[in-house]
Amino acid sequence: MATRTGIGAPRRSRDRSGGRATGYNVGAPSWRYFDPILLVAALALTAYGALMIYSAALPRDATGVVISEPVVRHIASAAAGAIAMFVAARVNYRLLDVLGWFAYAFGILLLMAVLVVGVEQFGSRRWFDLGFTLVQASEIAKLLTIIGLAKFLTDYRDRLHEPRIFLLSLAVALAPALLVFLEPDAGSSSVFLVLWAVMAAFAGASAKHFLVLGAALMALVPAVLVVGVQD
C-alpha cells in the first residue's frame, strides 16, 4: 500500500534514544534544546517593564515600598505568560499542522463574538470582560490567524505562484482583518495584512504578485478619495 507523502501528510518524528516514532506526541520536545538565554532575556524585559510601571504609578508623596494595582496586574500577567510558555514548550509543534484550521476558525468566532457581547470602551468594542480582567479578542486572533495562515501556506506552498492561491492566502488574513476593522480598530486590522505579507513572502510568493496587488490598491485610492469627498 502506498505511503502518503507530500505537503498534507502527517510527519513523524523520532527520538534519538530509541529511534521510536513519536508522531504527534505532546511530550516529544526535549528540554535539551531549551534556550536559557531566551528565558533570561524575557525575564529581564518583564522585570524592566514592572519597574517602569512601578515608577510611573508611584504616588509623589509615597514613602517606602508601594505596590500599585498596575504593577500587580503586570506581575500576574507575566506569571500567566510564563505558565503558558512552559506548557507550549511541552507541546509538539507538529500538532499545529492538525489544529491549524480549527485554531483559525476559533479566532474568527472570537472576533464575531466580541462584536456582539464585547465590552465597549472609548467608542470601540474590542474586549471580553472576564470579571478579573479584560481580554482583547484581536490579540488572540492574531496568534490563531498566524497558525491558520501557516497551515494554508504549507499546504499550498507549491502552488503559491498561482494568482488564485495567492489571493486565497490574502483572503485568509483579510477575513479577521475586516472583523477587527468593524470594532473599529484600524491599527490592529492592518497588522493582519502585514503578517500575511511577511509570511507569504517567506513562503515563496512571487514578487510580481505583490507588485500587481500594490498597483491595484494604488489605483483604488483616487476612487476612495472621490467617494469620501462626495459623502
pTM given for the model = 0.70
Domain ranges, ordered by start, for the chain: 26-92, 96-231
- Greater pLDDT, 66 or 201: 201
At residue 21, the 3 state secondary structure works out as strand
- Greater pLDDT, 228 or 104: 104
The mean pLDDT value of the chain amounts to: 80
- Greater pLDDT, 227 or 43: 43
Residues facing 125 on adjacent strands? 120
Spatial distance between the Cα atoms of 192 and 175, rounded to a whole number of angstroms? 9
Instruction: For residue 5, give every residue at least 6 positions away whose Cβ sits within 8 Å of its Cβ, in sequence order, or none.
Output: none
Torsion of CA 12, 173, 203, 106, to 10 degrees: -10
DSSP-assigned letter for residue 130: -
pLDDT tens for each residue of 167-224: 999 999 999 999 999 988 888 999 999 999 999 999 999 999 999 998 988 887 776 6
Q: Which long-range contacts (CB under 8 A, 24 or more apart) does 22-25 make?
A: 22/92, 24/92, 24/94, 24/95, 24/98, 25/92
Spatial distance between the Cα atoms of 217 and 132, rounded to a whole number of angstroms? 43
pLDDT tens for each residue of 109-137: 999 999 999 888 878 888 888 877 788 89
Region 146-158: what's the mean pLDDT? Answer: 94
The pairing of beta strand 134-136 with beta strand 119-121: unpaired
Spatial distance between the Cα atoms of 210 and 216, rounded to a whole number of angstroms? 10
State which amino acid sits at residue 199.
M
**Closest by Cα among 183, 27, 158 to 94:** 27
Region 221-229: what's the mean pLDDT? Answer: 64
**Closest by Cα among 206, 195, 94, 84 to 151:** 94
Cα dist from 1 to 5, 8, 34, whole Å: 12, 18, 39
Region 12-16: what's the mean pLDDT? Answer: 44
Instruction: For residue 189, give every residue at least 6 positions away whose Cβ sits within 8 Å of its Cβ, in sequence order, or none.
Output: 138, 177, 178, 180, 181
Per DSSP, the residues of 183-206 read TT-HHHHHHHHHHHHHHHHHHT--
